[in-house]
Chains A and B, each alone.
Chain A
């Protein structure tokens, strides 16, 4: 074990000149891994949607199940003509997809994607661990709306402006409920570090069972945060052609679209970590006496993550879209008081927990 640690410190440490470079390459690999998982998310959505609708989804590119369909779509988007309309607000319009993509990628550094358990100690696989990670994650995921508003305003198009206004109205309402549920989890745990939150949930007492109201509120707010049906008024094709994305074509549109899927992937990761026990084993596996070592926690984490994403996709294809005034009224009149009730319940739980 010491030899292994010695090798790791030599390769990745600051003693020689190659340390920071190799760490940078590993960081880029993490980014690449997220993009591959976003590709998987797109494939999952298309295949699961086609199963719900009695049809076959993509089945040509990449074998019988169409696994590489997104690569074909990306090639198509790269080879389209880049149309820049005349009267758009140049820097604002061009920078908007970059901002959305950047804010989605900034969430990667704080999320642990599972853990490596060896000899009783847990090494969570996160890029960094810092003490306020859950607060940082929520803050960064809200930067994306500035990008959408820039896209809507800079496009010089009435449909885009209406979409941008709707977007801001939706986010203001649901960020509050999201923040309150996260705060209630933090109160029970006693620390803002996301690794501590996962470790505080054993195998049976996941926070989803202890705070069911909080879980439901968090689920609804997360779907509103990610901008998916039934809350996707900002890109409603029926009323507003394509919402904020009307004037974008080719890879600009592809970048923003991909950023939404990355947001969906990372949002599901956060839901798994905070409420569903992260990489802890579910109760029925403990009875089989499977020890939790090595990279098994990563497998458990990925399985839970896939289930959460399938649920998000199911909600998209099963419900109609809600009107914007109904969205804000649900957010402020129903979710906000319920989140306060949940906060009180979490405070009581926090006393019991620490005792």
Chain B
């Protein structure tokens, strides 16, 4: 029998070797250096996390990242709720991209149940995904603009986002936390007259995005602050496991909608937006281009959609899914969140509640990509870089 106290002593030794002493090393300061905490509560942050910066003058020499201030235990909560009760909980993992979180959950459960939604439901789900992508990118880019001091751009983007939220509210009934897909279909059909309204709003957003791209590209003070700063190379992104616009800005064209296509994405023709350098300017440009690409995808989907049933015929539940027993097994279906690749690994043991739900969130990797970029930059660049990664703190901590 192993002695419990020996085990504990050995674990304390290992912790000191691997965790505490390297930390103490990093906190030793020279005469010219100062420790600055961009701390858990700071007006610039979208949520609580801590970055310790070792600065000398105005240059950052070293940085350390601490997360976990907002841990809510969502994965444990999902274990004690039935599958349908868990759907509003997944809304709240990241409240900006809640339709994508719902989609990841529902796709994995549908693979466990071995059912496939009919075509009309798939088109509606694709439309909702792309609308969610548009509004998330608008807010993310606007928040990044305030961190540069460019407040007017934020207000312009929020104004556009209100129209998109109005479109979403017409279908689902809520502006955030939608809880819209169901197992095998969607909750409600598109209302009458929505199609014309959507086409007006989308063409307006397409024009405004052209204006944003021109404003960003022609403004010399903006380019002084963003071109060549916060560059990620291809090796850095592979090591950190980044996905999404931050990956595509370095030139690698990995988009989950093309690599592991679900729903009706194979029938829709769209291009994956990439850029060359991987600095702040390129990441923001990739996002604005993706908004225009999503407008184009929605217009194609609205052309191709045909009337039909919302749920498959042999399913006894339809819109109503009270306690249902899911056959045992596991499933992992990745989808393209506005921030990257999102998936939920659901393990089921045959009862009406999941045994384990592991959420693979894209924002965790985005935060991990931050400390390598913060070598030898100025303090003023730190919020610009952090905001251009567009990570969501509640998804990091879950």
Contact = CB atoms under 8 A, between A and B. Distances in A.
B82 to A, nearest CB: 44
Given A54-B159, A241-B42, A321 B34 contact: no
Closest A-B pairs by Cβ, 4 of them: A321-B149, A320-B150, A53-B155, A320-B148
Of the four ranges (under 10, 10 to 19, 20 to 34, 35 or more), the interface on chain A belongs to 20 to 34
B38 to A, nearest CB: 8
A326 to B, nearest CB: 6
B226 to A, nearest CB: 9
Contact of B152 (A52, A162, A237, A321): A52
Interface residues of B, number: 28
A162 B58 contact: yes
A319 B151 contact: no
A345 interface: no
A164 B156 CA distance: 33
Interface of A: 52-55, 158-159, 162, 166, 229-230, 232-233, 236-241, 317-326
30 contacts: A53-B151, A53-B155, A54-B159, A55-B155, A158-B34, A162-B379, A166-B58, A232-B149, A233-B380, A237-B43, A238-B43, A238-B44, A238-B147, A238-B149, A238-B383, A239-B380, A241-B42, A319-B149, A319-B150, A319-B219, A320-B148, A320-B150, A320-B219, A320-B221, A321-B148, A321-B149, A322-B221, A323-B380, A325-B58, A325-B378
A230 B44 contact: no
A229 B149 contact: yes
**Most B-side CB within 10 Å, residue of A53, A54, A324:** A53
Contacts of B147: 238
A323 B378 contact: yes
A145 B150 CA distance: 25
B62 interface: no
Contact of A230 (B149, B152, B156): B149
A233 B225 CA distance: 13
B358 to A, nearest CB: 35
Nearest to A161: B34
Interface in B141-169: 145-152, 155-156, 159
A237 B38 CA distance: 12
B272 interface: no
A230 B221 contact: yes
Contacts, number: 75
Contacts of B19: none
**Most A-side CB within 10 Å, residue of B378, B380, B382:** B380
Given A238-B44, A319-B221, 6 more contacts: A54-B159, A55-B155, A236-B149, A238-B147, A239-B383, A322-B221
Contacts of A229: 149
B47 to A, nearest CB: 16
A230 B220 CA distance: 12
Contacts of B148: 238, 320-321
A323 B225 contact: yes
Contacts of A317: 151-152
A95 B382 CA distance: 33
Contacts of A324: 58, 378, 380
B386 to A, nearest CB: 10
A172 B117 CA distance: 68
B265 interface: no
B27 interface: no
A323 B58 CA distance: 11
B152 A238 contact: no
Nearest to A166: B58
Contact of A318 (B145, B152, B224, B382): B152
B36 interface: yes
B155 A54 contact: yes
Given A236-B380, A238-B149, A320 B58 contact: no
B95 interface: no
A202 to B, nearest CB: 36
A274 B281 CA distance: 40
Nearest to B380: A323
A232 B221 CA distance: 14
Interface string B28-65: 00000010100000111000000000000010000000
B69 interface: no
B330 interface: no
A280 to B, nearest CB: 34
B381 interface: yes
A236 B224 CA distance: 17
A351 B35 CA distance: 57
Contacts of B378: 323-325
A239 B34 contact: no
A73 to B, nearest CB: 19
B222 interface: yes
Contacts of A238: 43-44, 146-149, 383
A160 to B, nearest CB: 12
B146 A53 contact: no
B149 A320 contact: yes
**Most A-side CB within 10 Å, residue of B58, B145, B150, B221:** B221
